[in-house]
Every structure is written in structure tokens, then in C-alpha cells.
Chain A
Amino acid sequence: MGKIWRISGPVIIAEDMRGSQVYEVVEIGEERLNGEIIGLEQDKAVIQVYEDTVGLTVGEKVTRTGEILMAELGPGLVGNIYDGVQRSLVTMKNEVGDFLHRGVRTHALDRDKKWRFTPALKAGAKVEGGDIIGTVQETGLIEHRIMVPPGMSGVIDSIEEGDYTVEETVAMLGSNGKTRPLSLMQRWPARKPRPYRRRFDPVDLLVTGTRIIDYLFPLALGGKAAIPGGFGTGKTVNLQQMARWSQTQLNIYVGCGERGNEMADVLHSFKELKDPGSGRYLQEKEIFIANTSNMPVVAREISIFIGITMAEYYRDMGYDILLVADSTSRWAEAMREIGARLEETPGEEGFPTYLGSRLSAFYERSGKVECLGSPDRVGSATVIGAVSPPGADFSEPVTQNTLRIVDALYSLDVALANRRHFPTINWLQSYSQYADSVDAWWEKVSPDYTEVRNQALITLQKEAELEEIVRLVGPEALPENDKLLLLIARMIREDFLMQSAYHPVDTYSDPKRSHLMLSTIMKFNDFAGGLAEAGMMVSEISASRIKQRISRMKDVPNDEIDQYIDSIRQDMAGGAVSLEEGGV
């Protein structure tokens, strides 16, 4: 057992620590605060402490646990809320009350709860790491597949259906004359990626329900994306929207160094909102990590790895998982603070020189894979990280290092936020390298997807060019065809790209709805072009009934949208007639 030798903020040095290992977990002082060894020198260990160190004093004891930091994995994760080191905040609330006092320890998984285990194999079966031995219905939405932990193999000696706690033995595994118990729970070191058989290219669209993402800058299952933006530009709302509506089996929401009230809002709304596909509460397909900005800084660093480990675990069952992390900047700042305490030589803006490699250690754990074990299955973990650049200046180190890693960028724009154009994803600066590979997916929804998308992007690009001229000569001085282009671009922006997270219907837009909306605007473009050629002024076209009806598409519920769009299109087809009647 060691003793505290020095205390400097969240970092302490302990002496008499010979024999410990880097990343070993320790307990500090009377209150048994949680810490992790991050460096060793002779008999001294440098320890980052996951709890507030105020009030500690030299000479207090430091106890080694002999274990490195592990994530607990098993039934009971879904619907739970964890702090950065995977203590259940729900349990803490029940056991110690509304405030987070130090030194409280809880298990991630409830030790008393019984789960119904249904075996998938019989005694005598030969198994290896990743094989599914049975299932537990974790929530109404998640069938938890109990897997042989990676690296283990042998023959099932016994296995039995029944109600078990996560620690009880559900099966015995024999190998080389020894038998080992298997339970519903396994543990995995959070900093280490879980193994899989092989990787695939991400080619399937991850449907998020946010139009500008799905249609213009699509994300693929297993992809990695970043969403940088100044304060108040909508990072959190966008991530929440994705965690709500994405067509995945499970989502993990990591609130890292952000607001308590915001977390409360997420937690409450997920209890009330329903998954559009199944009609069940969203909480049944969500795991939350809430390490808010006033909770210990050091825990921010590990929280992200705990989150991604859980994502990989469910991926290994053959599911599609989305993990959103808000905000990776707070995570990076935590590393900066620890680095400063260790008196490491800092890199850019004081961040540690390993910032880039730590960021990729996180993002690279995304991917679409063939899982270990049988039956054969494919799973994916998609990762989206918010970035909070100081002064909304994207040239700063966290944004720049992130951009080198991710394949899709949703760049949030302060100017759009000021105008309350939401989502504020800037259509000229954002990109997705998945756009080409998910083409095939989209063409199944509609063969003209690529054409409509390109047309819209070109219109928006031209608008930006014309905008400069408008600022010099005014909109009235433009020729009619340019005015028409501006009108169409405006419709794309206001009637398609703008999408309020709080609109009762429009908050989620499925791919078909998105396609109907944009293709109708592009059809209106052709229709209006015809009218303009026939001598109609763009100002008249702009005041037309048809255009007004297009601008109300967002209010139309999903089950009426086909009919609504149909009637607009029919009217456009018969357009010449209604023009004469003055009823376009």
C-alpha cells in the first residue's frame, strides 16, 4: 500500500508504489477516491484522480487494486445513465441522494436484478470468442446476445435456461481439462479496441432523419463524422436529434464536460419520445453517459473510451450503433489540464502533443465489421463528435486534428444561427466522403436521387456567387433568370434545408419524405422556368399559390404527404391553364 506524496490539482503522486502498472486503478485516502496510474518512476506513481482532490493531505493511503480500468458489459446498460467512470448515476441517486459526494462506489450493472437467459446452444457445443451462447431480452427493443468473451474457447459443459443475475453462472466452458464459468457479464479494458474478424467499407446510409445530412451530406453506417461550431450553433441539438431518430438499433449519448440542464432535458425527453419504427420509448435503445462540466475533469478523458467500448460490445452482437460525443473539445481540454500538471512539453495552444493520436484512437474505433464468432454477423459503430472551437475559429488544434481523421464534416455556421436558420449546417463548407458510396442505397429510394442532389447543390453554389452581385447592384437589377435562380435557392434553403427540431411533424424526415420535398422544389424549378419563358415575372411566380403550397410541405404529416405532393405536381403539369385563371 502506498501513501500520498504530493497533490497538485487532479494529479497526485504516491510513494511506496513499487510493483504497480500503468493504467492500474487505485483507491485514495479514507474516502477511497477512484484514480488511475498514468506514470511510474521507481517507487512513485503519478495518478490521475477521478474525483475532487480538495481536502486531501500528504500521507493518506493509496491502495492498489491490481486491475486496469475496465468497462462492465452486460444486460442493464441500456436505459442507464453513467458518469465518466461508469458509475450508475441512477443507483447513486437512489443510494446517496441528489448530489455527487466523493468516494461513492457503485457497479455499472445491477448485481441483484435477475434476467431471463435463453440458451442458443446445447451442452457439448464447441465455442470460441464471440460465439453467441444465448440471449436476454434487455429492453423491449434490445435482445442482448450473450457472447463468449474474446480470447476464450472450449466446449460447453453445461448451459441452462433460467433467471440469473449478471454474476451468476449461466454456462460452464471446458478447455484443456479446466472448466470456467460464463456469466451474463463480461469486462473489457476501456482503452483497448475490441477485436473483430474484418472491416468493411461503409456503404449503407445511416438514416438520421435530418434532411441536410441524409440527402446532401449522407453518413454511412460505421462512418465517422465531426460537427464543429461556435457556442449556440446547434451541436447539441443536432446530436440529440441523431440520437433520437437514427435508424440504428442502439445509440450511445456521451455528454462530456457539457451542461447538467441539457442532460436532464435529454434524459427526460427520451423517456417521453417514441421510436418512429417500433413505437416504443427511445429510452429502450439508448445508453447515456453524463459527465457534466462541473463533474471531475479527469473523468472526461475516460468517459469517451467507456462509451466507445460499450458501442463496440453491442456492435459485436451484430447491431448498428451510433455514438455521439458532446463535446470532444472538453475531452481534449481535460487532457491539456492533466498534461500541464505533469509538466509535459505542450504542443499547440497548450494541448498535449499526443492530441491527434488520442483523437484517432477514439474515432478509429468506429467501423462496419464482420463480428467474431458464430453465427456470422455484421455490426457497425458510427461515431459523431461535436467540436467546440474557441471563438468559433476552426483553425484551432482540436478542430484541425479532427478534420484529418473524420470522413464527414458538418460545419455549423454562426451567421445562420443568428438568423435562426436551423440546422445551421453550412451547405458550402460541409462535406461527406460517403456521398458516392451511399448513392446505390439512395437510388433504391429513387433513381433520380443523384440528379436532384447535384441540381440542388449547384443551385446553392450559384446563389452564393450571385449574392455578391446582389450586394453591389441590388436584387432588382438582376436579369429574370437569375432572379428565378435566387427564388429556387431560397426555396431549397427555407422549404427543404431548414428543419426545426421542435416541429411536431418535421423533426424527423424519412428518406422518402426528404426526396419528395426536394424533387418537388426542383420540379417547380422546371415549371417556373417555363412560365418565365412565357413572359411571367419572377415576382408573380413567387407569389403563386403553388409556391405557397410548397412552402407548407413541412407541416404535412407523413401519411398525407404523398397525396399533398401529388396534387402539387398535378397542378404544375396543368400549369398553363391555371396561369390564365390567375390561380397558379
Chain B
Amino acid sequence: MDSMQLFTRQTKAISTARRSLLIIESIPGIQFSEIVDVELGTGEVRSGQVIEVGKGTTVVQVFGGVSEVDLLDSKVRYKGETLKLPLSPDILGRIFDGSGKPIDGGPAIISQKYQDINGVPANPASRMPPAEFIETGISAIDGLNVLVRGQKLPIFSGSGLPHNKIAAQIIRQASLKGKSDDFAIVFGAIGVSYDDAAYFINNLEETGALSRAVGFINTASSPVIERLSTPRLALTAAEYLAWEMDMHVLVILTDITNYADALRELAAMRGEIPSRRGYPGYMYTDLASLYERAGRISGREGSVTILPILTMPDDDITHPIPDLTGYITEGQIVLSRPLDRKRIYPPIDVFLSLSRMMKEGIGEGKTREDHNNVFMQSYAMYAEGNYLREITTVIGSEALTDRDKVYLEAADRFERDFIAQAEHSRRTVEETLSVAWDIFSMLPEEDLKLINEKYIKKYLPESSESE
């Protein structure tokens, strides 16, 4: 086989065109899963993917459907190769479409290095557990749902909630505590509106981060099939920057819901038996093939941190998209419509939110010795206040004891002072912790039983009610 010569081969032997599928005569060398060009009689070219190869026939799924494909004049061209992305340091500062072509008016990337966009799984024995605290400046994250380098932590949002603002704030503010080395940003826009994509690009531009960013943009009007390649291109670029250029990379992928819907659409067109709500049974594995590309590798400098954004259909966290995502990612930041209505920004529901890598990233030498205790006590306090809030809607607050009323007030303050902060406010983790301690000082000291006594002595502000 002559692999140096990348000439394409073609066939006109198309026997069937139905739904989105073409059945063609098998041609030697055509590979399972490769991307092919389908040229119509009119000269129009569509892409397609080989989804089954047999001895006599090969099945190709045509992106954009088979309308106008005729069995006489159309041809299928193939390379005997799967989709690859050219890589070089020059990708920084550039913007590409969902097939990897530049759309910023700049030149094509010239490189010897073409990387298969599906990536190769990291050996679990080579991975290093993520442990370096990323200070986002947002208390609900830094205090309670810590993000660390190499983690995959999605934002579960709903339509109309400020997920883009929060993601932009994280991009602007994220840094390693006490260090100034910046993240490289890889941005993958999947089926989003032009405005949403522009919002991020402009944001990067304004903060001067564009020169260390790479964008892959598939807008709502771009081909549906490229919704599947866009995040893979983005992650391939991220892996290159992290593992070969030693950079710390923050990947923003938005909106995973569009990705999953594209997956569903294409599966349905193949006539596959669907699983929950019409999504394919292999969606868990498919999503994992994206999210699992986050991480750290021992002995390598860089890291890939992934922050996917998804909008939960009907705000339903049990919907397969957030559900399967939550089963793969290392936690989730969940936005709450009720908090948003109360005009609390960022409207982060701290009960539903979780960071599984938190314990690695906090504590003495990383954030502060009392962090874990403050975290646990905050939840206990806020949970109690919330519970009481719930029962007072039935019984009224008169039926509460004085102690209970303190908890109600503490929960309110927790939302107002701890969770809420301005879009441009950047709190250090120490500031975040001291807001929590201020609120703890409202409670009877004996209730702080999740906090080690020595930290109470050290950090609890003089009680306001110490008459």
C-alpha cells in the first residue's frame, strides 16, 4: 500500500440512496469510520462517514442527507484515512470551522503533524490525579465546588440562565493560586447561535486572551455532522497544546445539548434502536470519549481542563444529556432558576453542584487548613436553613424556635453574601472563606461541630451577639 501518496480514489457504483444512507460498492482500502466526499451530479460536494464496511458493499452516512443524490452521476471519493487536524504552535490565535478549516481569513496551518481527531486514550497508569487548585474568584466554586487542573467540570444550565457570563468570568479570572501563568483557552462552539459564539470571541479579544486561544466554531446554521467533529477538533488541539507544548489548557465546549441532539439525529437516520428519549444507547460511551480527554499525565507539564456547558431540556437534571454527563464528569456546577429569579448572580445551586476533585485541591498549602471544615459546615448550615424555609411555607415562621430563626437568616445571608457576587468581582479564596466565617458567627458556637475546635479559635470572628 502506498501510504505517502494521498491521492483520493473514487467510485460511481452507488446502489441505494435512502434516508441519509448510501450503499456503495466496496472499494479496496476504504476504512471503517473514514470521512468521504460525496459529489452530486450538480457539482455540489457533501461529506459523509463510512459506518459499515462489508466485502461487497459499504454504507456511507451522508451529512446533509441524500436529497438530490442520483445513482448515475454522483460519486463517492475517499482517501483511505480518518479525519485529521494539522497541528503547530500557529494554531494559537486562530479560528476554525467544524471541519478544521480556518474561518478568520488567515492562512491554512502548515504542518507535518496531522492528528486523528478521535484521540488515543491515556493509559490510566500514566495519569496523575488532578490536584492543583484553580482560583476562579467565584465563591460558590472556590469555596464549595473547587475546580482543579485536569478536571472536567460541566455547567448544567437552562435556557436564559447566565451560563455564558459565568464561563466568561471563569476564563477571565481563572489562575493558579498565587501564580500568574495563564491558561491557554480552547473554545468549541457546537450548534450555538452566532451571537453566543461572538460573545466568547469578543470577550477573549477584550481581555487580550485571544492570542493564546483557539476557536472551533460550528454555529446553528453549519452542518449538523460537524457538531460531532467540532468538540473532537477542539480537544485534539487542546491535547497538542498540553502534552506537546506543555501548556495548561482550559477547554470550553458549548452547548453539549446540541452535540447530543446531533448524535440522536444521525443515529435515528441510520435506523438504530434508540435508548432513553430517543438518544442512542452508546451515548454514555460517546460522551466519555470527549470528556475523558481531560487530565494530567505524570511527567508532563501541561494539563487539559474541560468546562463543558449544557442546557438541560426543561431544566430537568434527570434528562439523559445532563444525566449521562454527570455520570462521566467529575462533578457539575448547576444553575438554579429560582436563584436567578431572586437576582442572585451567579445563580449556583450549591446542593446540586459538586466537585469530586475538591478534596485533592484544598487544605493547608493549597488553599487553607480550614477549607474542608468550612465547606462541610456551610452545607450543613445552608441545608438546615433551606429545610426550615421549606416547612415555614406551610406552617409560617411563628412556629419556629429562636434557634431555627437564626438558621433561616443564615441561609438568606449565605445566598446574599456568599453565593452572590458581581460579575467582575474576583474574590481570593481567603476572602471567600472569611465570608463564610462571618455567617457562622451568627450561629450558636456549639453548632459548629463539623469544624475542628482549633480552627474555631483561630478564625471565628468575635460573635456579634456576645452580650
Residues of A whose CB lies within 8 Å of any CB of B are: 5-8, 15, 52-59, 81, 89-90, 92-93, 97-101, 230-232, 255, 257, 259-265, 267-268, 290, 292-295, 297, 330, 333, 336-337, 340, 346, 349-350, 388, 390-393, 417-420, 470-477, 494, 500, 502, 539, 543, 548, 551-552, 555
Given A55-B34, A293-B328, does the pair A350, B128 have CB atoms closer than 8 Å?
Answer: no
**B107 beta carbon closer than 8 Å to chain A:** no
Give, as a whole number of angstroms, the nearest-CB distance from A95 to chain B: 11
A89 to B123, CA, bound (A): 7
Interface window among B93-101, B199-207, B291-299: B291-299
Of the candidates B121, B123, B297, B372, the one having the most CB atoms from chain A within 10 angstroms of its own CB is B123
Docked pose: A255 CA to B351 CA in angstroms: 27
Asked whether A333 lies within 8 Å of B284 as measured between CB atoms, the reply is yes
Q: State how many angstroms separate the Cβ of B407 from the closest Cβ of chain A.
A: 12
B129 at the interface (CB under 8 A from A): yes
Q: Which residues of A contact B327 (CB under 8 A)?
A: 231, 388
Q: State the Cβ distance, B305 to closest chain A Cβ, in Å.
A: 11
Size of the B side of the interface (Cβ < 8 Å), in residues, is 85
Nearest opposing residue in chain B for A55, CB measure: B31
Residues of chain B contacted by A53 (CB below 8 angstroms): 32-33
Residues of B within 8 A of A99 (CB): 120-123, 126
B252 smallest CB distance to A (angstroms): 19
Does B356 sit at the interface, judged by CB under 8 A?
A: yes
Q: Which residues of chain B are within 8 angstroms of A231 by Cβ–Cβ distance?
A: 323, 326-327
Is B443's beta carbon under 8 Å from chain A?
no
17 further A-B pairs in the complex, CB-CB below 8 A; given A6-B54, A419-B351: A7-B32, A54-B118, A58-B28, A92-B125, A98-B126, A101-B120, A232-B331, A264-B127, A293-B284, A293-B285, A333-B285, A390-B320, A471-B394, A472-B395, A473-B395, A474-B392, A474-B399
- List, sorted by A's number, 11 A–B pairs whose CB atoms are closer than 8 Å: A5-B54, A55-B31, A89-B125, A231-B327, A290-B125, A337-B281, A418-B352, A474-B392, A474-B395, A476-B400, A500-B376
Known: A265-B129, A346-B273. A337 touches B33 (CB 8 A): no
Q: Are B292 and A390 touching (Cβ within 8 A)?
A: no
Kindly list chain B residues whose C-beta atoms are within 8 Å of the C-beta of A8.
51-52
Cα A231 to Cα B329 in complex, Å, equals 9
Provide the bound-state CA to CA distance between A336 and B280, in Å.
11
Chain A proximity of B272: nearest CB distance (Å): 7
Q: Is there an interface contact between A293 and B125, defined as CB atoms closer than 8 Å?
A: no
Given the complex of chains A and B, what is the CA–CA distance between A473 and B395 in angstroms? Answer: 6
The residue that B289 contacts in the complex, of A7, A90, A294, A474, with Cβ under 8 A, is A294
Residue of A7, A58, A340, A388 with most partner-chain B CB within 10 A: A58
A180 to chain B, nearest CB (A): 36
How far does the alpha carbon of A260 sit from the alpha carbon of B332 in the complex, in Å?
A: 17
Nearest 8 interchain pairs by C-beta: A474-B399, A293-B288, A391-B318, A264-B127, A294-B292, A231-B326, A98-B126, A290-B124
Given contacts A350-B281, A388-B327, A471-B394, A93 and B123 within 8 Å (CB-CB): yes
Taking a contact as CB atoms under 8 Å apart, the answer to whether A90 and B125 are in contact is: yes
- Contacting pair A539 B29 (CB below 8 A): no
A340 touches B272 (CB 8 A): yes
Contact B31 A261, beta carbon cutoff 8 Å = no
Q: Please measure, in the bound complex, the distance between the C-alpha atom of A414 and the C-alpha atom of B118, giving whole angstroms.
A: 34
| Chain B residues whose C-beta falls within 8 Å of the C-beta of A54 in the assembled complex | 31-33, 82, 116, 118
Tell me if B281 and A475 are in contact (CB < 8 A).
no
